[in-house]
């Protein structure tokens, strides 16, 4: 039997975690207990590397030496991995997880916050974790997975292997502990489990007499290192190709090559973040970005961009560099229509003199990694580099690192009204340095907030986007802030495929999948993609798993 389960990203776009499990000997009439004594799916060795953590620990593992700060799920009285899934077939199974992400925004409201982190499904039979990409909603629960006793490899692309410890270090610092030593031990453990694999190459996860599983990563074009996962599963005589899309990128995103459809998918699990809409095309979007920046900067305000550290930030920098390159010494705002309010604008203020500030150590670090990994860039970006351009390190770019410099920058920009673009995390305004900017700048109509990414329901970002244009307010750290700054959104930088791109991805598979599961989207997005796929693939069983 070959089963697909979902442990997240079914009621929204976060907490991504799927499971592919093979259970031999479950055919009618055959012995339901795995006949191979080596194939128990459990490993008596807890945790390896001598690290014992108490969050959701395996029964029987030794709690000695655990750090009281790393109590995780147990602190809230939530037990470790238990057999909560009735469809779980018990001993004899072997499987993999695809992603193990954090719940965010409204999805967090699944109960006590600690339960969001707990690994509340059985993992004894899980042989490996495959990471599609390093966004926190796909990898954020990895420390808890390890704490729960997972002792298999973490399989991912080569760029993801470089970025994963960085992103988890940040997540641990913010959500877990400031204990440097403990963080280092957790990261050391994660590094020791990483198995980077090249794109387009099969990697055997396990192979036994009665079943085997191999995976292959293909470029997903979403962020650097992102992959969709092809799984070749064999149980007895039956074999199947199951494909997990992860997050798919838009085909014309800057920097990364577009994803290509799988050559085969008997079953497909596909994301649907933008399952109900299409993005504007890249040329239109670039001109819209230009127009927004011109209008925003003409009155001497700050353009604040709540930034996701990985992907969108680098795409946006890439586009801004191209605008600076193209318009250089022409005045910002030169192309503005008559009738717009030029008060406070400086006719000498040119694109060349536009300052871009990255006020996010993490975004700056990932920008550096993007720069270092040029072999993974697409042809267009590679060509620019060959011509001597520096799309991610141009001279107008300033990075703010220390917290003190950050506070000074907020204060200075709020008072000086110097035209400037600031990228600050987090992308959905749910925390991070962008919150200080918002508090200081939302009340001034000279400022602008530009959203370039998806805003999950329940986040301040979603509220600003919804209520800002109506003159509403947003709650930040328990206080109400009126929104007078102008609010904009440029959709295409979300690094997610739009509806047509998702449909195209499925249509490109030579033989339509037998089953398509639509996950990782809001209800409307999932329903819209489901309807579209049902219409186009009447032979396929299309469903939205619970
Ligand atoms: Zn993602």
Kindly write down the DSSP assignment for every residue of 426-473, as one continuous string: -TTSSSSTHHHHHHHHTT-TT-EEEE-S---TTSHHHHHHHHGGGT-E
Ligand 1 mean position, distance from CA 125 (Å): 27
CB 153 within 8 A of CB 128: yes
Distance CA 520, CA 541 (A): 18
Which residues make beta-bridge pairs with 98? 18, 130
Contacts of 188 (CB under 8 A, 6+ apart): 49, 51
Ligand 1 mean position, distance from CA 487 (Å): 24
Q: Taking the model in full, what pTM does it have?
A: 0.81
Q: What's the helix, strand, coil split of the chain in %, to 5?
A: 35, 20, 50
Ligand 1 mean position, distance from CA 500 (Å): 18
For residue 349, the Cα-to-chain-centroid distance in whole angstroms is 36
Report the chain's terminal Cα–Cα distance, integer Å. Answer: 20
| Strands 541-543 vs 203-207: parallel, antiparallel or unpaired | unpaired
Ligand 1 mean position, distance from CA 307 (Å): 13
Which residues make beta-bridge pairs with 479? 476
Ligand 1 mean position, distance from CA 109 (Å): 21
Distance CA 488, CA 468 (A): 9
Ligand 1 mean position, distance from CA 495 (Å): 8
Ligand 1 mean position, distance from CA 382 (Å): 23
Q: Which residues surround ligand 1, an ion (CB under 5 A)?
A: 135, 247
Ligand 1 mean position, distance from CA 247 (Å): 5
Question: 236 is written with which tokens?
Answer: 């007895």
Question: 254 is written with which tokens?
Answer: 């800057």
Which residues make beta-bridge pairs with 356? 397, 421
What pLDDT shows up at residue 30? 42
Collapsing DSSP to helix, strand or coil, 218 comes out as strand
Distance CA 526, CA 273 (A): 8
Please write down the HEC assignment for all residues of 321-390: HHHHHHHCCCECCCCCCCCCCCCCCCCCCEHHHCEEEEECHHHHHHHHHHHHCHHHCCHHHHHHHHCCCC
Ligand 1 mean position, distance from CA 352 (Å): 32
**How many Cα neighbours within 13 Å face the side chain of 397?**
22
Ligand 1 mean position, distance from CA 544 (Å): 20
Domains in the chain (CATH in brackets) are 2-26+38-198 (no CATH), 282-494 (3.40.50.10890)
Collapsing DSSP to helix, strand or coil, 320 comes out as helix
- Identify which of 161, 41, 169 has the alpha carbon closest to the alpha carbon of residue 95: 41
What pLDDT shows up at residue 74? 34
Ligand 1 mean position, distance from CA 254 (Å): 16
What pLDDT shows up at residue 221? 94
Ligand 1 mean position, distance from CA 364 (Å): 18
Contacts of 313 (CB under 8 A, 6+ apart): 307, 358, 360, 363, 366, 367, 423
CA dihedral 154, 159, 160, 162 (to 10 degrees): 80
Q: Residue-wise pLDDT tens for the chain (546 aa)?
A: 999 999 988 877 788 999 999 998 754 444 433 334 343 333 333 333 333 343 333 333 333 333 433 433 333 322 334 333 434 444 589 999 999 998 876 554 443 344 567 788 999 999 999 999 999 889 999 999 999 999 999 999 999 999 999 999 988 887 777 788 989 999 999 999 999 999 999 999 999 989 999 999 999 999 999 999 999 999 999 999 999 999 999 888 889 999 999 999 999 999 999 899 888 888 888 998 999 888 887 877 899 999 888 888 899 999 999 999 999 888 776 544 434 444 445 666 788 888 999 999 889 999 999 999 999 999 999 999 999 999 998 888 999 999 999 999 999 999 887 789 999 988 889 888 999 999 999 999 999 999 987 788 889 999 999 999 999 999 999 999 999 999 998 876 667 889 999 999 999 999 999 999 999 998 999 999 999 999 999 999 999 998
R_g of the chain, CA atoms, integer Å: 24
Ligand 1 mean position, distance from CA 299 (Å): 35
Distance CA 144, CA 146 (A): 5
Ligand 1 mean position, distance from CA 443 (Å): 31
- Identify which of 351, 347, 331, 292 has the alpha carbon closest to the alpha carbon of residue 492: 292
Ligand 1 mean position, distance from CA 459 (Å): 17
- The dihedrals phi and psi of 229, each to the nearest 5 degrees, come to -115, 120
Ligand 1 mean position, distance from CA 504 (Å): 19
Helices (H), 91-179: 113-117, 136-139, 142-147, 158-175
Ligand 1 mean position, distance from CA 345 (Å): 38
Ligand 1 mean position, distance from CA 222 (Å): 7
| Strands 397-399 vs 355-359: parallel, antiparallel or unpaired | parallel
Give, as one character, the DSSP assignment of residue 504: H
What pLDDT shows up at residue 334? 55
Ligand 1 mean position, distance from CA 135 (Å): 5
CB 447 within 8 A of CB 331: no
What pLDDT shows up at residue 469? 93
Ligand 1 mean position, distance from CA 143 (Å): 19
């Amino acid at each position: 039997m070959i089963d697909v389960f979902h442990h997240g990203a079914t009621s929204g776009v976060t907490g991504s975690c799927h499971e592919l499990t093979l259970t031999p000997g479950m055919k009618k009439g055959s012995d339901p207990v795995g006949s191979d004594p080596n194939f128990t799916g459990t490993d008596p060795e807890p945790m390896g590397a001598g690290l014992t953590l108490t969050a959701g620990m395996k029964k029987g593992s030794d709690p000695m030496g655990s750090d009281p700060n790393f109590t995780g799920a147990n602190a809230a009285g939530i037990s470790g991995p238990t057999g909560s899934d009735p469809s779980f077939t018990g001993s004899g199974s072997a499987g993999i997880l695809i992603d193990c992400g954090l719940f965010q925004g409204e999805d967090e409201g699944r109960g006590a916050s600690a339960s969001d982190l707990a690994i509340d499904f059985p993992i004894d039979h899980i042989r490996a974790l495959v990471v599609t990409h390093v966004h926190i909603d796909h990898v954020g629960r990895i420390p808890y997975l390890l704490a729960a006793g997972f002792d298999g490899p973490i399989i991912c692309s080569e760029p993801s292997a470089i970025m994963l410890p960085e992103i988890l270090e940040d997540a641990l610092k913010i959500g877990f502990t400031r204990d440097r030593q403990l963080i280092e031990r957790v990261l050391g453990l994660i590094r020791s489990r990483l198995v980077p694999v090249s794109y387009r190459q099969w990697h055997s996860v396990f192979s036994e007499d009665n079943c085997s599983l191999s995976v292959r990563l293909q470029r997903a074009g979403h962020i650097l290192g992102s992959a969709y996962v092809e799984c070749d599963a064999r149980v007895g005589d039956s074999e199947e190709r199951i494909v997990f899309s992860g997050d798919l990128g838009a085909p014309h995103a800057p920097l990364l090559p577009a994803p290509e459809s799988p050559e085969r998918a008997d079953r497909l699990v596909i994301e649907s973040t933008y399952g109900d809409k299409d993005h504007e095309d890249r040329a239109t979007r670039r001109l819209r970005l230009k127009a927004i920046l011109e209008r925003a900067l003409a009155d001497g305000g700050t353009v604040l961009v709540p930034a996701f550290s990985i992907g969108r930030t680098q795409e946006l920098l890439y586009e801004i560099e191209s605008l600076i390159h193209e318009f250089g010494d022409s005045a910002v705002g030169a192309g503005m229509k008559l009738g717009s309010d030029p008060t406070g604008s400086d006719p000498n203020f040119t694109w060349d003199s536009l300052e871009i500030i990255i006020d996010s150590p993490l975004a700056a670090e990932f920008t550096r990694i993007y720069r270092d990994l040029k072999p993974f860039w697409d042809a267009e970006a590679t060509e620019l580099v060959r011509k001597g351009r520096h799309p991610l390190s141009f001279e107008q770019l300033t990075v703010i690192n220390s917290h003190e410099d950050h506070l000074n920058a907020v204060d200075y920009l709020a008072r000086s009204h110097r035209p400037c673009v600031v990228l600050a995390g987090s992308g959905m305004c749910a925390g991070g340095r962008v919150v200080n900017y918002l508090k200081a700048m939302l009340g001034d109509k000279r400022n602008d907030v530009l959203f370039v990414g998806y805003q999950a329901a329940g986040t301040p970002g979603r509220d600003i986007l919804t209520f800002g244009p109506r003159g509403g307010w947003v709650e930040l750290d328990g206080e109400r802030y009126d929104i007078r700054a102008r609010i904009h959104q440029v959709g295409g930088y979300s690094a997610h495929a739009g509806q047509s791109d998702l449909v195209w991805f499925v249509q490109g598979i030579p033989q339509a999948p037998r089953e398509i599961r639509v996950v990782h989207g809001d209800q409307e997005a999932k329903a819209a993609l489901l309807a579209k796929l049902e219409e186009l693939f009447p032979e396929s069983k299309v469903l939205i798993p619970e």
